[in-house]
């Protein structure tokens, strides 16, 4: 990734992910690409051990090369495998997964659930569809403890941080469905980037709705239309509320 720079300087996106990795963690970075994130954290003495997991040969070799060049082979283990296949129970107490779709991140967590026994924190950065992750966290007793939204190079990213706990706690002060869609913490803060993201999403969904309107009617098309209309309504309600109070 061009803007993820190197092991000395991360992109703003990865810097934000790094910020939520607890000091002295045993970290597993899944889909580590060039191993920039674990290398950066190891060089700064922030983690005690790191795993850079990669499923593709090219990025795996790139990660190996970077870790070796930085003299970090004693601290970081570069492993090839799919998702959480690269770790054994007890290997890591913090997992980072960044730069993938939300549905893929959720399926990686679901497929490797038995590996999460010793994991205390998840730091997840979906490129799209963060709702899939929030739903997985709720279904699996992980409590969302922090969220951030940021824009870099004309792309908007969300970072979700979770620990074992009460999965419904973050949703107590917001409408549940809306919180799942836009993020319960982000919903209460409503930063400029948050508003920008959902204005763009609303515009996109309205375009999809118009296309469905002009398409031939079918059960599938009608269901899709209802689903899109519901999302538009939820987001319009969010954007129309200037206050963070949901009474």
Residues sharing a CB contact under 8 Å with residue 45, sequence separation 6 or more, in sequence order: none
> Structural domain boundaries of the chain?
2-169, 192-240
Sheet with 25-30: strands ordered across: 76-80, 47-54, 25-30, 94-100, 121-126, 155-164, 142-152
**Architecture of the domain whose range is 2-169:** 3-Layer(aba) Sandwich (3.40)
Indicate whether 247 pLDDT > 90. Answer: no
The pLDDT value recorded for residue 97 is 98
pLDDT tens-digit series, residues 63-82: 999 999 999 999 999 999 99
Q: Decide which of 122 and 214 is more confident.
A: 122
99-118: b (≥16 Cβ within 10 Å) or e:
bbebebbbebbeebeebbee
Q: Residues of the chain with pLDDT > 90: what percent?
A: 88
The pLDDT value recorded for residue 5 is 53
pLDDT tier for residue 37 given thresholds of 50, 70 and 90:
very high
Rounded to whole angstroms, the maximal C-alpha distance in the chain is 62
The pLDDT value recorded for residue 9 is 84
């Amino acid at each position: 990734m061009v803007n993820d720079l190197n092991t000395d300087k991360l992109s703003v996106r990865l810097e934000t992910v790094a910020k939520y990795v607890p000091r002295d963690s045993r970290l597993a970075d899944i889909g580590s690409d060039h191993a920039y994130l674990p290398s950066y954290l190891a060089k700064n003495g922030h983690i005690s051990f790191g795993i850079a997991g990669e499923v593709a040969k090219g990025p795996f070799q790139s990660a190996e090369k970077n870790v070796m060049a930085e003299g970090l082979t004693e601290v970081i283990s570069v492993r090839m495998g799919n998702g959480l296949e690269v770790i054994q129970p007890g290997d890591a107490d913090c997992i980072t997964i960044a730069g993938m779709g939300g549905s893929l991140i959720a399926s990686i967590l679901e497929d490797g659930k038995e590996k999460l026994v010793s994991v205390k924190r998840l730091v997840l950065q979906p490129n799209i569809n963060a709702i899939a992750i929030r739903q997985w966290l709720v279904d699996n007793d992980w409590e969302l403890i922090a969220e951030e939204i940021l824009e870099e190079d004309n792309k908007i990213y969300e970072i979700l941080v979770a620990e074992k706990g009460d999965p419904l706690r973050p949703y107590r002060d917001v409408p549940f469905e809306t919180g799942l869609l836009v993020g319960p913490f982000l919903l209460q803060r409503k930063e400029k980037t948050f508003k920008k993201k959902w204005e763009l999403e609303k515009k996109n969904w309205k375009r999809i709705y118009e296309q469905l309107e002009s398409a031939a009617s079918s059960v599938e098309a009608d269901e899709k239309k209802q689903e899109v209309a519901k999302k538009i309504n939820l987001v319009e309600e969010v954007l129309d509320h200037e206050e963070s109070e949901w009474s």
